[in-house]
Amino acid sequence: MAMHGELYIAGKIGPEQVDLIRSRFAALIGKDIDFMVKRDETLIGGFLATINGTVYDASIATQIKHAKEWLLAKDNTGASI
């Protein structure tokens, strides 16, 4: 029996790409997954998946957020950038 999840994407995505993401998660989790694909342009790019209450965030928006946090932390330590 397949698990259900939601796949949030920033823009258009083809069925081949959804199938690739689905197969990678199936290999990771060990079960087939049926995704409901939803659009979320705030992600900028990449995707965010929720499966059984777990969030897998591979979005550009989160990568930018982490880079900003890292740069601000480095700046606050007195290290040169």
Q: What is the mean pLDDT of residues 41-69?
A: 95
One-letter amino acid at 77 equals: T
Q: Is the pLDDT of residue 79 over 60?
A: no
**Percentage of the chain with pLDDT > 90?**
83
- Is the pLDDT higher at 22 or at 79? 22
In Å, how far are 5, 61, 62, 63, 64 from 72, measured between CA atoms? 34, 17, 15, 14, 12
Indicate the pTM of the whole model.
Answer: 0.83
In a domain, 23, yes or no: yes
Would 81 be classed as within a structural domain?
Answer: no
What total number of domains does the chain contain? 1
Give residue 63's domain range. 3-76
d(CA 50, CA 40): 13
Residue 50 lies in a domain: yes
